Structure 1
């Protein structure tokens, strides 16, 4: 038995691959383009594991996908491959459309051709899982009810729009061709291996460097935070028991403002790695000009997943945050390897120019 995972060297994808192989004996064929956020170091623990087959390639390469599907005959395909950073999508949307829209189309077509050629019972048992984001739903007001699976799409960034387009394609391939599609929408993930352009690892690294901690606008934008291990557990449950054609929201029940998250990180670092001058890292907080079209609030209602499939998150936000900080403090070689010159240039353009 085999799974084909796309984007499995990225943050969430690599966690899923590691967690899956810790729980199952199936082979995982892992296709990743190794863009700036894809990292083979995330998968170092699998270097000698014959169950992990890594393939350097893009989901836009239809010939490669068709060959891998025919060769390995997976029972399921999980699509994690995506450009995922809102700020980068505003600066350069073309690559987001190429990967998240055109790439998803190419993947769906390759999977459809493979699935239609399967004999029973493999055809009925096959699944395609589209891993997506709550950002496709748009922005909520402070008192509005959380996103449900029936909330209309209203994406506000090029990233969110490209993910919404890919999700629409997956839905259409289910309804038009019968492809057994499962779709998930998750809230903000955090945890080890996250590329330090996202809020939590960015703030950890800036704090340790003694640099300003750039907080957009007033810092009161609200996100629901989901520990990446909980996300992977939910995906395993959806893959095993989800109903084809259905969508499942995955949330962490941990709404926090960005400023709350930054201040809590500072408090954890104050205890774990005190500044030499004895001051709190919170002294480094610096409010910068807000990004264009910044969504004010996301919130996930995950009661469908709890009621139908019995999943709820295990990790509390504070304990998950402490685990995350501890990981970044103890894995400096990984951090130093990803903080290349191009990364530093991006941070300078994106934040220091806004100060």
Structure 2
């Protein structure tokens, strides 16, 4: 039986994905769940209920550690690659220290069954598209997006040259419980719950497609299990709806209802796209997937999760 390999298992998406799949009988097709993460960012951790499962093997290490892939990954394994450099509003990615070529060469040698790589819709850069599609130009305007685009290019080369079975997902802005504190939604919620002001970069008119992490995890599940011919393809992941940054923050403020909370506007970040939205029609068709949480429901769920943590 193949194993499921999850580099970056202790991150925002990883923790939510583990809670989604660990007790799903569809994943009984995997003998082991091999979780890999250096746990180097803040309060990252693997949930205890996950570590307690006899099928789980956890390696506290970077997936790029020389020899690690050869030790842990074998023929037919499915790899869900969530590992990434930290990139938040208050700590943007400033460089790349990893070895993607060596990593992909090792995966090729291991003869894996599939590699799901989570990229980002940020690779499209500054645009004013009503509906980003996978054929739109890639024009990254941040180092984070540039690193993702470069990794995608390596994946394309390994797929074309060596037949590495890769699938690339480009999600829009993801939010939900257990997110790294530097992102807008967790910052806004935690500051609102504390009765503190919330800073917005620019004038707040930037429009974003916001997708709940549960819906992101669901497309990862579909991508890992599908028997459709998806290798070598790129899929956008989004809801097809949009909300300005300012409107989103005011949703949070209205929900918390603390009169001390006000919005403060600060200088815009260079290279920040004014708009990002995709209906993800290709992913919907290929995976039989569609987002299930509206922004209103997803945001209230997220606020409730932070409120419980705040008062607990």
TM-score, shorter chain, exceeding 0.5: yes
Q: 1:110 aligns with which of 81, 85, 106?
A: 106
- Contact 2:88 2:183 survives alignment (8 Å): no
Q: CA deviation at 1:161?
A: 0.3
SS of the residue 1:219 aligns to: coil
Q: Distance in 2 between matches of 1:249 and 1:310?
A: 14
SS of the residue 1:182 aligns to: strand
Provide Cα deviations, 1:212-245, integer angstroms capped at 9, x if missing partner: 2001110111111111111111111122225111
Q: How many residues align?
A: 305
Pair 1:167–1:266, CA change in 2 (3 A): same
Q: CA deviation at 1:45?
A: 2.5
Confirm whether residue 297 of structure 1 aligns to residue 293 of structure 2.
Answer: no
Name the structure, 1 or 2, with higher relative contact order (CA <8 Å, separation 6+).
2
Supply the RMSD in Å over aligned alpha carbons: 1.9
- Contact 2:51 2:58 survives alignment (8 Å): no
- Contact 2:4 2:34 survives alignment (8 Å): yes
Residue number in structure 2 paired with 1:173: 158
- Contact 1:89 1:159 survives alignment (8 Å): no
TM-score (norm 1): 0.81
SS of the residue 1:98 aligns to: coil
Residue number in structure 2 paired with 1:213: 198
The runs of 5 or more residues in structure 2 that have no matched partner are none
Q: Distance in 1 between matches of 2:301 and 2:16?
A: 15
Confirm whether residue 312 of structure 1 aligns to residue 297 of structure 2.
Answer: no
Residue number in structure 1 paired with 2:114: 127
Q: 1:78 aligns with which of 80, 93, 107?
A: 80
SS of the residue 2:276 aligns to: coil
Residue number in structure 1 paired with 2:5: 4
Residue number in structure 2 paired with 1:154: 139
Provide Cα deviations, 1:109-130, integer angstroms capped at 9, x if missing partner: 2101111xxxxxxx6xx11111
Q: Distance in 1 between matches of 2:233 and 2:196?
A: 45
SS of the residue 1:62 aligns to: coil
Q: Distance in 2 between matches of 1:231 and 1:44?
A: 22
- Contact 1:226 1:254 survives alignment (8 Å): no
Residue number in structure 2 paired with 1:235: 220
- Contact 2:41 2:86 survives alignment (8 Å): no
* Rg larger for: 1
Q: 2:241 aligns with which of 227, 248, 254?
A: 254
TM-score (norm 2): 0.92
